[in-house]
Structure 1
């Protein structure tokens, strides 16, 4: 007779076997049960039983017959990427971006909403609720078919605890953010730092695809970076790696707990806008301050040119600090840095050539706001690998009963 631990172990083994079958089906389109047994190294009866179970759940379907190898023609199986959906969401500046994707990570429906400023945590969660309702309505997905929500937040997120330990812009510091959002949305949620998810998006489907060692640098309301080393995302012991906004770049001032760092306190977008207002004859209160400075510089405005060069130099200081330590193959520039023109990139490369032993390849991010959404979706697909008997299992213990 099985004891309690043995029962638990058998359930875990079953989940792992299901996961392996689904993984092989994702990698190998249209295979037979016999082929699956060979690929997974599981017995044929085990594969057959689990396949039948997952066919009832809609995860696998039959798609015809294959060629005979001397006996009966095999029935071919295919992973049903439309069986469930995944929601990706990210707060970028004052805008919330959301999408629903299928199990292959392909985006199906988009939604974005500009939050009134100043905002607060409760208002942000209400926007998530509205966004989820809108996505479900536009996509036709039932809520019970959603695996979960990947959410990118500013600040240092503690994924296991579901809290944000350091976030000057939201007021969520130390609060059980994940738990509250799960209760309000009625879905399991994976939280992560916004720039981390942007990095993962470019790594999976953008200019960073296939590059094992890369740094993703983002300049917006704050300044942050994502770091991938040997194909693995590096987070640090307290999940605070990449918080380059706290580098000592620019004028140093005393900081209080919860404030922005020195680097972002001198060269983030709001501060650059403030500096631009003082030197430009006409300054548009809209995104694109770097574009405006470039345009005025090309028109011969001396002060605009000086400010632009100062920005490039100090951004390059931060890059040099990272490059000299991590020696990446690729540096991806994003956020406001996406507007740097070719001559600007050449200036930064020239400075780095003088300062560091090896200069990585520099590319502008390609996915825009979708980078964060794609990263958020992949974070959910990695966290919810198994769907079993209408229960969604999350590493860490969350179980959601589908209705």
Structure 2
């Protein structure tokens, strides 16, 4: 067999990567279209496609109705999304949420597990691994896992600081999980993943400058600046820090309302807000005032971010995004009054699944980098 020269071998890899990128973009294409887009000859495109078919990265599409009436149909190909799957995990104080998707990003399964904020780091890591194992599909191989967690997360996937989860500070989470999960694992801050999800499939599609406000049992922020996720000098973007003051005080109104309206039930801050939202929708005026005061406090905190960053959009996400206009409208009115260029304020349609969905996107991006790097 004739051995390819170094230059020829490199050219072949570059051409293979170019054709795979075209298929990866999601289009169904013919050999002629592939050759034209990749700027290679048709025989070269055909040879590369045959290799990708053999490796499972491409698949040939079935004939469309009517093809035979036009003579011999052109062979058509696309990326084989069912060749494998990825898993995205949201690690919170009260829950673990996983999403499993094929390689085209179609969500195939979702799992949710309740956990305790007081559980040890070792117990939480064990629960994450168990959830990943339960989320693996029988069809296709697991290609990558991405995990979103609260806390300052550095580029090595280590939780440098954590306020919301005890014993989480200093955990080398990516390394710990990589020792237990037999595929590549990446770890990122949950708020950065939430805004990534909004940019991918949520309210922030098509926007380049976005503030994502997470509302649940805690408050968090995700920033998209110039179309790119903002990590910050110390990878601390997304973390507000000690929430005993500032944003945390926003919950005071809904907590007080919940205690006065139903004193027999002990609720978390997020549960108190959800309780007040439900009562407000039922026409309870005291609940409506508590929710509006909550929204106004959130808006007041946003002003210090909106004025210097000048975003196009503010997305209200997390579990409390279900409040919809009850939160969005007071925030929009407040920003209209006190900011130079008020951004549009919208409620997320992804709700409390945004972090797990962003983790899926991160896993897919990691797979792409690995896949294309192997061809260059």
TM-score over 0.5 for the pair: yes
Asked if residue 282 in structure 1 is aligned to residue 263 in structure 2, the reply is yes
SS across alignment from 2:180: helix
Asked if residue 168 in structure 1 is aligned to residue 169 in structure 2, the reply is no
SS across alignment from 2:351: coil
Asked if residue 199 in structure 1 is aligned to residue 195 in structure 2, the reply is yes
Conservation of the 8 A alpha-carbon contact between 1:182 and 1:189: yes
Aligned residues: 363
SS across alignment from 1:385: helix
2:219 counterpart residue number:
223
1:183-198 matches, within 5 Å, as 183-198=179-194
Conservation of the 8 A alpha-carbon contact between 1:95 and 1:113: yes
Conservation of the 8 A alpha-carbon contact between 2:319 and 2:351: no
SS across alignment from 2:148: strand
Asked if residue 94 in structure 1 is aligned to residue 77 in structure 2, the reply is no
> How many Å separate the matches in 2 of 1:296 and 1:373?
29
2:209 counterpart residue number:
213
Judged with a 3 Å threshold, the aligned counterparts in structure 2 of structure 1 residues 363 and 42 are, in CA distance, closer, same or farther, namely same
- 1:27 Cα deviation after fit: 3.2
Q: Choose from 132, 151, 154 the match for 2:150.
A: 154
Gaps of 5+ in 1: 1-5, 247-258, 396-403
> How many Å separate the matches in 2 of 1:305 and 1:75?
61
> How many Å separate the matches in 1 of 2:236 and 2:369?
29
> How many Å separate the matches in 1 of 2:346 and 2:338?
19
2:109 counterpart residue number:
109
Asked if residue 232 in structure 1 is aligned to residue 228 in structure 2, the reply is yes
SS across alignment from 1:288: helix
1:4-403 matches, within 5 Å, as 17-27=15-25, 29-44=27-42, 46-63=44-61, 74-136=74-136, 139-141=137-139, 145-159=141-155, 161-170=156-165, 171-243=167-239, 245-246=240-241, 259-260=242-243, 262-267=245-250, 275-276=256-257, 279-282=260-263, 284-286=265-267, 287-294=270-277, 298-301=283-286, 307-340=290-323, 342-385=325-368
> How many Å separate the matches in 1 of 2:324 and 2:33?
52
SS across alignment from 1:82: helix
- 1:378 Cα deviation after fit: 1.0
Conservation of the 8 A alpha-carbon contact between 1:89 and 1:150: yes
> How many Å separate the matches in 1 of 2:124 and 2:10?
37
Q: TM-score, normalised by structure 1?
A: 0.78
Judged with a 3 Å threshold, the aligned counterparts in structure 2 of structure 1 residues 42 and 340 are, in CA distance, closer, same or farther, namely same
Conservation of the 8 A alpha-carbon contact between 2:291 and 2:327: no
> How many Å separate the matches in 1 of 2:234 and 2:183?
26
- 1:332 Cα deviation after fit: 0.7
Gaps of 5+ in 2: none
Judged with a 3 Å threshold, the aligned counterparts in structure 2 of structure 1 residues 158 and 39 are, in CA distance, closer, same or farther, namely same
Judged with a 3 Å threshold, the aligned counterparts in structure 2 of structure 1 residues 295 and 233 are, in CA distance, closer, same or farther, namely closer
- Give me the CA root mean square deviation: 3.3
